Structure 1
Amino acid sequence: MQIDAVLEVEAGDPQIAIDFLVDNINLSKTRLKDLMNKGGVWRVDLQDRRERLRRAMTDIFVGERIEIFYDEELLSLKPLKAELLHDAGQYSVWNKPNGMPLSGTDWGDFNSFERAVELATHGERECYWLTPFDYQAAGVQVLAHSRKAASQLTEQFDPEGLKGATLKYRCDVEGDFNDEGECTTDLEDGAVSTRFSKVRFDARPNRSVLEAELITGRDDQIRRQLSALRYPVVGDEDYGQNAEEQGLLRLKCVEVRFTCPMTHETLVFN
C-alpha cells in the first residue's frame, strides 16, 4: 500500500499535526506517528521552506502544505545500523554497513547514514563531510563536527594530495582490470591519482576485485576514475552502467589512517 498526497491546511482544520493527519489520511494514529518518526511526512511553511515533520504535536498553520509519503513495504524494513567506532567529540569515525544509503528520500530517512549520525549525536552536532571520503560507499567513514576539526582533518585528507593520511578501498568492477599501479586520469575537475592493485578476476560474471589507495582525494574519485577507465564499479548508479540490474554498490572503505588533530596520536581503522 502506498499513499502520495499533498494537503493544504485550511480554516477549520486541526492545528496540531497528528490531529490533521488523522482527519485526512486513512491510517491509524500509531502508523501516522511511525511515518512521521521515519521521515515520510513533510511540512512546507508559508515561506515555502520544506522540512520533515517528525513531532506529532507540532503546531501547523492555515496555508501550509503537508506532504505525505507512505510506503508500507518500505516502512516494514528493518533499518541497518551504522557502528560508531570512535567518538572524539570534534570528529567521529563510523563503520557504515553495505546497503545503507547516505541520505533519505521523500519516503523516509530512517535507514540512512545521515539519520543514523543525527540520532547518535542527538542532533546536537554539526556534520562536515570530508571530500576524499566517498560517503556512498560502505566501510569506514570519518565526519568532522566543528569547523576547526574539519580544517585540521582536511590538511591531512587534502583533495589535491593526501598528506600523512591513508585511505584505502576495495571494489568490484566490470571487466578484466589491467591498469595496476599508480594511475593518473584527467577528469572534469583536474587530474586524479589512485594506486590500484587487482586481487582477482572472475571470468563469470566478467568482474575484477580491486584494492585502491587514494593519492589525490577528489569527490567520488574512485568511482569517477574507474568509470573513465571503462571499468565501472558494480552497482554504481551515478557513474556506472545498468546499475539497477547490479544491485548494491560494491565499494567499501577498508582502511583509514590519520593523526588525531587533538592528541596527535596516529589512528588506524579497518
Structure 2
Amino acid sequence: MMTEPAQNTIIEQHINLDDVADLNDTNPLELLVQATGLSKQRVKDAMTKGAVWLSHGKQARPLRRKNARLRLGEELHLYYNEQVLSETVAKPELIADEGDYSVWNKPNGVWSQGSKWGDHCSISRLVEEHFDYNRQTYVVHRLDKAARGLLILAHNKEAAAALSAMFAKRTVEKHYLAWVNGQFPHDSITIDKPIDNKPAKSIVTLKEYDADKDRSLLSVQILTGRKHQIRIHLSSLGFPIIGDRLHGEPTQSQDLQLMAYKLDFQCPITGDKKAYQLKTWT
C-alpha cells in the first residue's frame, strides 16, 4: 500500500514516455501517481496549478488535463513543492479592459510570471481565470512580487509585441509611490546612480510627511527600468522603502510599501493617449 509523502516534500519526477509500456492505455495522472506515491487529488491539484509539464525536444508546455493524450518522443515532468502549491494570493483588480490588452491593480505577493513549480499565483494565470480562460495573456512588463500596482497584460501576440516594444523603448511614463521612514529632506531630487554597471535614473518628489508616524510619502518617476531600481536608489540615500527586507531592514514584518500608481503612454495599437492612475494608496 502506498503512503503519502511527508508535508512540504519536494518531488521532481521525469518520465520518458518511450519507456512506458501500453502508452495508449494510460494517462499522465496515472503515470505520476504510480511514479511518486502521491494521491490522485494531489497530482490533479499540481496539474491545475501548472506544476506538470510535457516536453518534446526543447519545447515544453504546462499540462493541465489528466486525460491528455501522450505520445512517443515526449517526456512528462512533475515539479511538486508542497509549500509553493499551498500558496494563496489576493485577486488582482481589473482597472480597464481595452480588448487587445487589459490594465490591472496587482496585489503584493502576486508573481509577474509563474515558474515550473506552479503558476496559480502569477498575474497571467489569475487574469486568465478572471476571463474564464477565454483569453490568452502575455506579460509585457513586470512588477516586483513584493510590490503592488498597475500592470498591463496583452491578449494576443500582436498586442504583446507592440506593447513590449513600447516598454523597451522607454516611451511609457511610470510613476510610483513609496513610504519611507523619517522626514525626507528634499522637495525633489534626481538620482543618477548606475545599477549593475548600467545607467539608471529616478526622479523623487516628496508628496507628504506624516509627523505622527514619522514617515514620508514619495513619488518616484523612473526613466530607466533596472531591477529593484527604486529600492536601490532610495536605499542609497539612506531612506530604504518601508518593508524592504532586501535593501533595508531584514527583520521588518510589513509588506513592501511600494506601489506603481500611474502609467501614461501613447497606445501603439490605436495611437490614442492613455493614462491610468490609482486614486489612493490601497
The two structures have a TM-score, normalised by structure 2, of 0.72
Give 2:20's match in structure 1, choosing from 11, 34, 39: 11
Quote the residue 1:232 is aligned against.
240
Q: Does 1:197 align with 2:203?
A: no
Quote the residue 1:255 is aligned against.
262
RMSD over aligned CA atoms reads 3.5
**1:113-124 to 2 correspondence within 5 Å?**
113-120=123-130, 122=133, 124=135
Output one character per residue of 1:67-100: Cα deviation in whole Å (capped at 9) or x when no partner: 33141x5544544211222121233211111222
Output one character per residue of 1:27-82: Cα deviation in whole Å (capped at 9) or x when no partner: 33233211110122344x352545433221231657835233141x5544544211
- Larger deviation: 76-85 or 92-101? 76-85
Quote the residue 2:163 is aligned against.
150
Aligned partners of 2:240 and 2:247 also within 8 Å = yes
Structure-2 change in CA distance of 1:175 and 1:69 (3 Å)? farther
Query: Post-superposition shift, 1:229?
Result: 2.6
Quote the residue 1:219 is aligned against.
226
Q: Tell me how far apart the structure 2 counterparts of residues 113 and 106 of structure 1 sit (CA, whole Å).
A: 15
Provide structure 1 residue ranges, at least 5 long, that are not aligned to the other structure.
none
Give 2:52's match in structure 1, choosing from 41, 63, 79: 41
Q: Which amino acid aligns with 1:89?
A: G
Give 2:122's match in structure 1, choosing from 99, 103, 112: 112
Q: Tell me how far apart the structure 1 counterparts of residues 88 and 37 of structure 2 sit (CA, whole Å).
A: 24
Structure-2 change in CA distance of 1:102 and 1:264 (3 Å)? closer
Give 1:170's match in structure 2, choosing from 157, 166, 177: 177
The sequence identity of aligned pairs, in percent, is 28
Q: Does 1:103 align with 2:113?
A: yes
Q: Tell me how far apart the structure 1 counterparts of residues 53 and 9 of structure 2 sit (CA, whole Å).
A: 13
Q: Tell me how far apart the structure 1 counterparts of residues 41 and 94 of structure 2 sit (CA, whole Å).
A: 30
Q: Which amino acid aligns with 2:276?
A: V
Structure-2 change in CA distance of 1:100 and 1:52 (3 Å)? same
3-state SS of the aligned residue for 2:90? coil
Query: Post-superposition shift, 1:108?
Result: 2.0
The two structures have a TM-score, normalised by structure 1, of 0.75
Structure-2 change in CA distance of 1:2 and 1:51 (3 Å)? farther
Output one character per residue of 1:210-263: Cα deviation in whole Å (capped at 9) or x when no partner: 2223151423432232233333323446x5145475453221122334454526
Q: Tell me how far apart the structure 1 counterparts of residues 166 and 248 of structure 2 sit (CA, whole Å).
A: 34
Give 1:25's match in structure 2, choosing from 7, 15, 36: 36
Q: Which amino acid aligns with 1:25?
A: T
Q: Tell me how far apart the structure 1 counterparts of residues 139 and 74 of structure 2 sit (CA, whole Å).
A: 35
Aligned partners of 2:112 and 2:139 also within 8 Å = no
Q: Which amino acid aligns with 1:193?
A: S
Q: Tell me how far apart the structure 2 counterparts of residues 223 and 240 of structure 1 sit (CA, whole Å).
A: 7
Number of aligned residue pairs: give it: 257
Q: Which amino acid aligns with 1:104?
A: G
Aligned partners of 2:264 and 2:273 also within 8 Å = no
Quote the residue 1:93 is aligned against.
103
Quote the residue 2:3 is aligned against.
none
Q: Which amino acid aligns with 2:117?
A: W
Quote the residue 1:64 is aligned against.
75
